[in-house]
């Protein structure tokens, strides 16, 4: 079937379309129908089916004769190690860990927070939860203890699973002390913790609370898979919103497996048994969907890569991994390519490796700039596919369906909507705009299976954040347009979310941190363009009246405060003190104009501005930080 027919069918007959796709996974009891809409505008999929996520990703492949096939390749240039785990081994390891968790009282519906670096044990912990019907919440290692504490308090986990440390190119990340600090700060205390001790750093365990990963499992009976309802939450993944309180995106079990399974062939053009590699982190949605669940539900081999595009040891690492493991489809963020291109502009390192098995490169997580796409296409000699999605959706909203029907690539566009996504561009009143006109991108409800049904313990926030502005639609938070042929173009965010090296961050959350400094009276954080990371946060601080300390000292403390409270991933280094912030007469800070000034774009004086002279002061302040660049 061609893309257009598949897409049209998914919208005309969603129930028929998704029931058909649901046959590609295994059910203990198949669902009676696909869409459950009695609580519209809240929708669920496959709610009355019974299945197990771990069974679908692991056991069924062993049962089908794939037991000796490699499920996970761990390639870790930062520890100079590499090893492989077959599907049979994975089943045994996961059943053992799940058995030990079960023996300690973890049951269906309990939450388990996972705080681990890019090691196979992170996937094993996720799958062990899925085996029991426990709901995992993985927290990215680049976040500070306070962010982990916020997630512990929201998810209220029975257990926490961590590693002793993570390895960054120039530092060891001390996960265990961060975990201890987070538990100390959190109001909720988990019953127990399990710590995977790495040889690079062995952590001191807290007696009575912490268990060593191996000793914990010793003697525990392996656990069987616990069937759960289709709408049972598989996981909660926290993501940045407009405030410092992260949003707990809920993912239901059946929908995400059905949707991911569909994408593995139709989008990523991977067959079971082939090697698929996503260079991201399990702490992000890309890692959940395309390092763990997607490739495994499909019976493919997934690569868990613990390294960076550059510096581990050089800009040729990606090509070595692709060549050595026979990767057929590769997915990463444009930032990674920009980093490689900067170090190896001629692609000399590409030529040193046999990339003949690579068929396609996929980019997402941020806007893919034409230069990067063209460079990658030229050096790798394979199609480069930009695709667009979000933590909330769990799988691509728009992509080029390479395994179904490769469509002509239009550079600058992540191509066309995927099944079930009825994408529209709306004006501020919610009126659909004609082709080519820029507006808010919204998706007509219901969203397809695998997308967020709600936010954890925050249905009101879910409705307010996504459903209320444009009734009948899901508001993506992105702005853009759709061309005459249905290609989608993503231009900017409509909220305070910025994208730093493919990592989604909230400027609002950073402002909350700056505002907590005793000398700061008022502040604004904006996202400015950066040639490597896409965007970088830049903070403007007004000191409280009477503060006589040097502004630079306060700015430096603010930089440290953001690192301490949010984490190194915020990459917050640009901060400056100004006398006043530019505002409208009604008191709204003119952030968009500030962004234009810092980016060196033409900026006019907004008609609503209170005092235009402030803009010159802002221009002077950004010059002090080295902006506009170039
Ligand atoms: N655990 C702990 N700390 C982490 C971390 C992790 N998993 N990932 C990043 N950090 C730290 C880094 O060490 C760095 O700390 P520093 O300020 O002490 O140097 C900080 O967070 C910022 O990291 P990052 O923004 O990644 O910058 P970088 O300079 O270390 O690396 C790139 C730049 C481009 C190489 C890197 O951003 C990259 O590989 N990006 C790919 C993006 C990606 O995978 N996105 C996922 C969505 S698809
Ligand atoms: P996250 O939830 O971290 O995956 O971030 C999602 C956001 O990243 C989207 O809402 C977009 O703003 C941005 N994004 C992701 N993929 C793309 C893409 N291909 N092009 C442009 N922006 C993207």
Q: Is pLDDT of 442 > 80?
A: yes
Q: If you take atom 15 of ligand 1, which residue's CA is the nearest one?
A: 568
Q: Note if the bond before 462 is cis, omega within 30 degrees.
A: no
* Alpha carbon 440 to its chain's center: 21
- How high is the pLDDT of residue 472? 98
- How high is the pLDDT of residue 243? 83
Q: Is pLDDT of 1 > 80?
A: no
Q: Is pLDDT of 150 > 80?
A: yes
Q: Which ligand 1 atom minimizes the distance to the CA of 118?
A: 7
- Interval between CA 115 and ligand 2 midpoint (Å): 23
- How high is the pLDDT of residue 610? 83
- How high is the pLDDT of residue 606? 87
Tokens of 179: 């975990």
- The 3 state secondary structure assigned to 397-429 is CEECCCCCCCCCCCCCCCCEECCCCEEEEECCC
Average pLDDT on 166-187 reads: 95
- How high is the pLDDT of residue 65? 98
Q: Is pLDDT of 268 > 90?
A: yes
Ligand 1 in contact with 501 (CB < 6 A)?
A: yes
- How high is the pLDDT of residue 242? 81
Q: If you take atom 21 of ligand 2, which residue's CA is the nearest one?
A: 367
The percent of the chain in helix, strand and coil, each rounded to the nearest 5, is 35, 25, 40
On the 0-12 / 13-18 / 19+ scale of CB atoms within 10 A, 559 is: middle
Q: Which ligand 1 atom minimizes the distance to the CA of 567?
A: 21
Q: Is pLDDT of 153 > 90?
A: yes
Average pLDDT on 386-397 reads: 98
Q: Which ligand 1 atom minimizes the distance to the CA of 173?
A: 2
Average pLDDT on 350-358 reads: 98
Ligand having the closest approach to the CA of 143:
1
pLDDT tens digits, one per residue of 10-52: 999 999 999 999 999 999 999 999 999 999 999 999 999 999 9
Q: Which ligand 2 atom minimizes the distance to the CA of 499?
A: 8
Q: Which CATH number is 504-624 given?
A: 3.30.300.30
Ligand having the closest approach to the CA of 499:
2
Q: Note the helical H segments in 104-252.
A: 120-132, 145-155, 175-185, 213-217
Q: If you take atom 3 of ligand 2, which residue's CA is the nearest one?
A: 504
For tokens 């004609």, the residue is 434
Q: Is pLDDT of 586 > 90?
A: no
Please give the model's pTM, rounded to 2 decimal places.
0.96
- How high is the pLDDT of residue 609? 86
Ligand having the closest approach to the CA of 387:
2
- Interval between CA 390 and ligand 2 midpoint (Å): 6
- Interval between CA 440 and ligand 2 midpoint (Å): 14
pLDDT above 90 covers what percent of the chain? 96
Average pLDDT on 236-248 reads: 91
> Mean pLDDT in the chain?
97
Among 537, 506, 464, residue whose Cα is nearest residue 245: 506
Taking the domains of the chain in order of start, what are their residue ranges? 94-226, 504-624
- Interval between CA 529 and ligand 1 midpoint (Å): 17
pLDDT tens digits, one per residue of 303-345: 999 999 999 999 999 999 999 999 999 999 999 999 999 999 9
With a Cβ cut-off of 6 Å, ligand 2 is lined by 239, 285, 364-368, 386-391, 414, 477-478, 490, 493, 499, 504
Query: Best substitution site from 278, 362, 366 to test ligand 2's pocket, by max atoms within 8 Å of Cβ?
Result: 366
- End-to-end CA gap in the chain: 49
Average pLDDT on 600-627 reads: 92
- Interval between CA 172 and ligand 2 midpoint (Å): 29
Ligand 1 in contact with 178 (CB < 6 A)?
A: no
Tokens of 95: 């059943």
Ligand having the closest approach to the CA of 141:
1
- How high is the pLDDT of residue 480? 97
- CATH level 3 topology of 94-226: Rossmann fold (3.40.50)
Largest Cα separation within the chain, whole Å, is: 74
pLDDT band at 220; cut points 50, 70, 90: very high
pLDDT tens digits, one per residue of 508-541: 999 999 999 999 999 999 999 999 999 999 999 9
Residue 295: CB partners within 8 Å, gap ≥ 6?
Answer: 264, 270, 276, 278, 301, 302
pLDDT band at 439; cut points 50, 70, 90: very high
- Interval between CA 569 and ligand 1 midpoint (Å): 6
Average pLDDT on 268-292 reads: 98
Q: Is pLDDT of 630 > 80?
A: no
Ligand having the closest approach to the CA of 139:
1
Element (H, E) at 134: none
């Amino acid at each position: 079937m061609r893309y257009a027919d598949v897409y049209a069918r998914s919208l005309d007959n969603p129930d028929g379309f998704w029931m058909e796709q649901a046959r590609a996974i295994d059910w203990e009891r198949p669902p009676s129908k696909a869409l459950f809409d009695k609580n519209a505008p809240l929708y669920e999929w496959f709610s009355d089916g019974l299945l197990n996520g771990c069974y679908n990703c692991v056991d069924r492949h062993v049962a089908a004769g794939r037991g000796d096939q490699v499920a996970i390749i761990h390639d870790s240039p930062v520890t100079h190690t590499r090893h492989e785990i077959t599907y049979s081994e994975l089943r045994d390891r996961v059943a053992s860990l799940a058995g030990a968790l079960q023996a300690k009282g973890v049951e269906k519906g309990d939450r388990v927070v996972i705080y681990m670096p890019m090691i196979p044990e992170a996937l094993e912990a996720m799958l062990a939860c899925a085996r029991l019907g426990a709901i995992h919440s993985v927290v990215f290692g680049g976040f500070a203890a306070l962010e982990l504490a916020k997630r512990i308090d929201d998810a209220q986990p029975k257990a926490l699973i961590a590693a002793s440390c993570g390895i960054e190119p120039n530092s060891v990340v001390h996960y265990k002390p961060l975990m201890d600090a987070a538990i100390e700060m959190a109001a909720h205390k988990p019953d127990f913790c399990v710590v995977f001790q790495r040889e690079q750093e062995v952590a001191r365990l807290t007696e009575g609370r912490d268990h060593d990963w191996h000793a914990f499992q010793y003697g525990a009976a392996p656990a069987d898979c616990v069937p759960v309802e289709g709408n049972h939450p598989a996981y909660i993944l926290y993501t940045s919103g407009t405030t410092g309180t992260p949003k707990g995106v809920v993912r239901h079990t059946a929908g995400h497996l059905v949707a991911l399974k569909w994408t593995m062939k139709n989008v990523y053009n991977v067959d079971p048994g082939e090697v698929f590699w996503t260079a991201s982190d399990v702490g992000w949605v890309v890692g959940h969907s395309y390092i763990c669940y997607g490739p495994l539900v499909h019976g493919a081999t997934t690569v868990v890569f613990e390294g960076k595009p550059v510096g581990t040891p050089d800009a040729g690492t990606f090509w070595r991994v692709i060549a050595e493991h026979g990767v057929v489809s590769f997915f990463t963020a444009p930032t990674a390519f920009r980093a490689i291109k900067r170090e190896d502009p001629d692609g000399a390192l590409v030529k040193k490796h046999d990339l003949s098995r690579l068929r396609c490169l996929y980019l997402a997580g941020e806007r893919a700039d034409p230069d990067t796409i063209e460079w990658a296409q030229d050096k790798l000699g394979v199609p480069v596919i930009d695709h667009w999605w979000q933590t909330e959706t769990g799988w691509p909203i728009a992509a080029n369906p390479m395994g179904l029907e490769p469509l002509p690539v239009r550079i600058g566009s992540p191509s066309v909507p995927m099944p079930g996504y009825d994408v529209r561009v709306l004006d501020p009143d919610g009126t659909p705009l004609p082709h080519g006109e820029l507006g808010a991108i919204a998706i007509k409800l219901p969203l397809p299976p695998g997308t967020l049904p709600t936010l954890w313990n925050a249905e009101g926030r879910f409705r307010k954040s996504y459903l209320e502005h444009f009734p009948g639609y899901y508001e993506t938070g992105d702005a853009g347009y759709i061309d005459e042929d249905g290609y989608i173009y993503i231009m900017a965010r409509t909220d305070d979310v910025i994208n730093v090296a493919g990592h989604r961050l909230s400027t609002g959350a950073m402002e909350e941190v700056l505002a907590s400094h005793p000398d700061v009276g008022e502040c604004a954080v904006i996202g400015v363009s950066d040639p490597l990371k896409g965007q970088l946060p830049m903070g403007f601080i007004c000191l409280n009246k009477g503060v006589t300390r040097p502004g630079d000292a306060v700015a430096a403390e603010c930089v440290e405060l953001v690192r301490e409270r949010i984490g190194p991933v915020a990459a917050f280094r640009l901060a400056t003190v100004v006398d006043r912030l530019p505002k409208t007469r009604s008191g709204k800070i003119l952030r968009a104009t500030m962004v234009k000034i810092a980016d060196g774009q033409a900026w006019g004086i907004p008609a609503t501005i209170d005092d235009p002279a402030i803009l010159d002061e802002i221009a002077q302040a950004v010059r002090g930080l080295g902006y506009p660049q170039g």
